[in-house]
Each structure stands twice: as C-alpha cells, then as structure tokens.
Amino acid sequence: MNLENYFISQFKSANIGDDGAFIDGMVYSKDAFFENIHFKTSWMSHYQIGYKSIMVNISDAVAMNATPKYALLSVAMPKDITKSQMRDLAKGFQDACAKYGVDIIGGDTISNIKLDITVTIVSKSNKPLMRKGLKRGDLIAYSGTLGKSAKELKKLMNLGKIHKNSKFVNIFLRDKFIYNNRRFLRVGMDISDGIFSDLQKLSLASGVGFRFYKKIQKRVGCSGEEYEMLFGFDRRFKKTLLRRAKLTKTPINIIAECVRKAYTNRCKSHHFNKN
Amino acid sequence: MNLENYFISQFKSANIGDDGAFIDGMVYSKDAFFENIHFKTSWMSHYQIGYKSIMVNISDAVAMNATPKYALLSVAMPKDITKSQMRDLAKGFQDACAKYGVDIIGGDTISNIKLDITVTIVSKSNKPLMRKGLKRGDLIAYSGTLGKSAKELKKLMNLGKIHKNSKFVNIFLRDKFIYNNRRFLRVGMDISDGIFSDLQKLSLASGVGFRFYKKIQKRVGCSGEEYEMLFGFDRRFKKTLLRRAKLTKTPINIIAECVRKAYTNRCKSHHFNKN
C-alpha cells in the first residue's frame, strides 16, 4: 500500500469511495491541483492552469451524473505572481465555471512558495452514478481514446511543447453522454489515475474481476488525467448504448466483462513527481 | 490593495463576503492551512496540525450560526512523512470533527514538498449570521480576550515553546453563545485576521464606521487567529446579551458603536511569512 492509500485507509465513512460524496441529493467533490505535482508553470499559461483546475473537478461531478452548481477555491500563490497572471488565472477559473453554469461562491487566498490550488465542487443529482453495483456478466467500457495524456506529459517532461488543444491542457468532458444515458448505466467514474488504476477501484467497490476482450497496453492503461468515462452496464443495454452514444458523438470501447475474482492495477502512481 | 485582495476583487458573486457562503439553507466555507504559512511542523505535533486545521474551519460555520455537518479534506504531504505522523494527523482531523459531529466525507491526498491542508466545511443554518446589516447606533462587541495569539506566535518565532493548551494550538469556539443568542445579534464573524482587519470587513459590508469607547492597542487589534467572535447588535439588547452570555461563561467586551463614516484597518497582513 502506498503512503497516500495508507492515509486514506485511516478514514472510514460510508460516503468515501466515489468520485464525490453523495448526500441528500447533493454531490461534494474536491481535488488538489498543485504546481510541480499536477503541472509546471512553464507548461501552461495561468489561464490554462485556472481553467484545467476547474475542469478536472467538474469531471468528478459529471462522472457521477451530477450537475455542478457551486465552486469554492483555495488559491495559494507565489509572491512573485504578477497582476496580469492573477487576472489570467481568475479568467481561467471563471470561463471554466461559466461553461458549466457554476457559481464561484467563496474560498481562500494565501501567499505561498508556489501556485497550489484546491477546488471544491457542489453539485446536484437525482440519480448519482456510483462505483458500486457491478454484477457478473456486466460489460465494461470507456469513452474516447486513452493514452494521449501520458504521451503529452512525456513530451512536456522532455521540454517539448504541446498544442493548446491538447488533452493535457484542454479537457473535454462527456457530460452529455452521461446525462442522457444514466438509466442504462450501472456504475461509472472518470479516468483520472489511469484506466488500470480506476478499474481496480470499480473492482474493489463491486467485488468483481474483469475478463478482457483484448489486451490493453501499459502505456494506455497507465495514462492518467484522461478524463474519459469508465462505466459498466447490463449487457442487454449494449446495442442501445452504442446507438445512443452516436447522438452525442461519443466513441465507446467495450473492453471487458465482469467475472468472479478481483483485479489488480499494475501501474505506478501517475503524478509525475512520484515515479 | 494587497495582492490577495486584488485577486479576490476579480470575483463577483452575491455569495462572497461572509465567513462562508449561505445558499438554500447550507453554509459552505473553505480555508487553507499551509506549512510555513499558518504553522511550522516544529511548533505543533501532527495531531495538533490536523486538529487545528479543522477547528479554524468549523469556526467559520459557528460564526455564521451554522451547524457543521460534513468535511472534505485536501491533504498534500511531504514524502518523508512517517506512518505514525499520518496516523496522528488523521486522528487530529477525526477528533476535531467528532467534537462537532462532523463526518469526513471525502477529499484528496497527494505528495508534495510540504504539509498543506485545505478543509471545506458544509454546514446547515436556518438563520445564518452575516456581516451585513449593521445600523447606526448598533453596538459592537467581541468575546473573550484578544492578543494572546500574536504573543504566542512571537514566542514561537523566537524559538520558544508554548503550552499545549495555548490558544495557538487549541482553539476554543463560542458555538454555544452564538447558537443560543442568534436572535439578539445583527451581524457576526470570527476574528481570524485580527479585530482591526475584521472590523473593516464589517464596516465595508454594512457601510458604517465605529466610535470606539476606548482605544484598542495595536498588539491586540492586529492579533490574528484569535477565533473569538466579533458581533454587532441593537443596543436595546445590551442587557439581555450581557446576562445571557453568563450562561455560557462568555466574556463580552463592548467596544464601539456604529456611526456614519467608514473604518480603515491599520495592521499588516497577519500571516507570519508576509511581514
């Protein structure tokens, strides 16, 4: 068990274990977005940093079939940040929030040695999509393509440049697909730590293993920060889902079926400072 | 305007401006508690760090007459943290939350170069206490004594030791006084940045100034992290409040009355790294 999981294991709450906590019709989620852990300022503009920090958090809400409503920001800024960088950062927060109708209702700003952001998103959901509930025979799928994010990260680590529409800086969420198809889905989550790691979470939550239809390469399976959707569904909805996915132009890859046994992730932690 | 206020000025929301945001019967608050900004690990045990990080956030809920219900934690930990330190930190979080019946429902854990915590508290309130609403003639008071926190901070900065019951590590909140007397109060907030700074916030929110009954010394007025309550009330409730405060053993200091004009804070920012 790595140290982070050891720490998390100290906490026991019925509400911990999904992308967010679902309580009384609300979903609460919170993620950190820290300099030199999740990004470097040489990789992204302050606008992109602000924008992405919100989007990765809205992704958790979307993945639970929740509509994001409010954001609280904690922004720790280095002392040498310029007013122009601050305006860009604020604009990034605001544009991402505006795109999803989210109101920034508060938070905290402090001086620090680097730019460290945490975002809390408050969402509403009548029928949240959780990680628990897979049954043997259910099918497992993901949306879009995987592997680009790791590739782009590698390019950045080698001092290369990436395109401004790259997935690493400009995340596209699958909100329409989830909102339109909730009733056909059994479980779901976003792919933030890499699909292997995230499959393990589904496996643990539901007590099932997976029989894969074809081998997923490690460079794909361990690519984090993809923000595609990983979901499971009753196999009798297969045709319906594939047909309906076309309405939102969502590519669907059915990769496995649920079986007895468990599943173990074989990637290292995905944050680039921890390899 | 300092840089932090400049950044905050970029955001316009009707919900920003109080200790927390009040929406649909809920209060949302969020504060950072960062190493070398709010504490040093040589000053406090990991248990005390965890405990205080929760208490300073519950203070915002209490100050708004809200009952804290849920906490989301973001914990960035240095790689050399030991399992024993982690357990102590977790215990600190848990004990503070248990004291106020708060359930830790989620959050995020990452590796970082130092121990940086942010806490989001979700509370409920039927009748929140805000900063806006003071009228000319209203009286302004604070609870307890002020100035100790700055004194203890100075001691710590000079490599001295402080007692484990010191206000700097063991915060006492005025929840009973607030909950019992909400109906007699016009406005309220906790004293986290120093009473001078916090008076300015009341002044700005309500468009009033203050005539002081006696001079408050700068070492008292600029002492942050006091977590006493600053509040205003209609002068006809003066006797009632003073009498009822005794029921919860809450010392009350009436310091000023509201007048036309404005009020300007004369302290520097209180975080110890920014002087």
pLDDT in tens, B53-63: 999 999 999 99
Give strand pairing partners of B28.
B21, B122
Tokens found for residue B109: 């854990």
Asked if the C-beta of B9 comes within 8 angstroms of chain A's C-beta atoms, the answer is no
Write the DSSP symbol of residue A269: P
The verdict on a CB contact (< 8 Å) between A6 and B83 is yes
Q: How far is B184 from chain A (nearest CA, A)?
A: 27
Q: Tokens in use for A254? A: 């059915």
State pLDDT tens for residues B165-194: 787 888 899 999 999 999 999 999 999 889
Give the pLDDT band (50/70/90) at residue B269. low
Sequence-separated (6 or more) residues with CB below 8 Å from residue B84: none
- What CA–CA distances, in Å, run from B201 to B3, B12, B30, B128, B193? 17, 16, 18, 17, 10
What are the tens digits of pLDDT across the range B52-89?
999 999 999 999 999 999 999 999 999 999 999 999 99
Q: Which of residues 86 through 145 in chain B touch A, CB cutoff 8 A?
A: 86-87, 89-91, 93-94, 103-113, 116, 118, 120, 122
Q: Residues of B with CB below 8 A from A10's CB?
A: 86-87, 90-91, 94
Question: Please, are residues B54 and B102 in contact by the beta-carbon 8 Å criterion?
Answer: yes
Q: CB B3 to CB A34 under 8 A?
A: no
Q: How far apart are CA A42 and CA A9, in angstroms?
A: 35
Q: Sheet harboring B187-190: ordered strands across?
A: B187-190, B229-233, B139-143, B252-259, B209-212
Angle subtended at Cα A94 by Cα A48 and Cα A45, rounded to the nearest 5 degrees: 15
If we measure between CA atoms, which residue out of B265, B260, B252 comes closest to residue B199?
A: B265
What residue ranges define each of the domains in chain B, with the CATH number in brackets? 3-124 (3.30.1330.10), 139-274 (3.90.650.10)
Q: Is B40 on the interface with A (CB under 8 A)?
A: no
- In this prediction, residue B1 carries a pLDDT of 60
Q: Residue B258 in 3-state DSSP?
A: strand
Cα–Cα distance for residue pair A194/A230, rounded to 1 Å: 10
How many Cβ atoms sit within 10 Å of the Cβ of residue A35?
A: 20
Amino acid at B250: T
Looking at the DSSP bridge assignments, the partners of residue B139 are B233, B257
- Chosen for mutation from B10, B73, B114 (greatest number of chain A CBs closer than 10 Å) is B10
Q: Give the pLDDT confidence of A45-64 residue by residue, as tens digits.
A: 999 999 999 999 999 999 99
Q: Is the dihedral of CA A94, A98, A102, A103 positive or negative?
A: positive
> How many alpha carbons fall within 13 Å on the CB side of residue B38?
24
What is the C-alpha separation between A204 and B53, in angstroms, rounded? 31
Burial (CB count within 10 angstroms: exposed 0-12, middle 13-18, buried 19+), residue A206: buried
Option in A15, A34, A109 nearest B106 (CB): A15
- Least-confidence region, from A2-6, A52-56, A94-98, B142-146: A2-6
CA B39 to chain centre: 15
What ipTM does this complex have?
0.90
Which residues of A are part of a known binding site for Mg(2+)?
19, 29, 31, 60, 108, 190, 193
B131 annotated ligand-binding residue: yes
Has B192 been labeled as part of a binding site? yes
Q: Do A74 and B103 touch (CB under 8 A)?
A: no
State the burial class of residue B180 (Cβ atoms within 10 Å of its Cβ: 0-12, 13-18, 19+).
middle
**Checking phi first, is residue B159 left (phi over 0); if not, alpha (psi -120 to 50) or beta?**
left
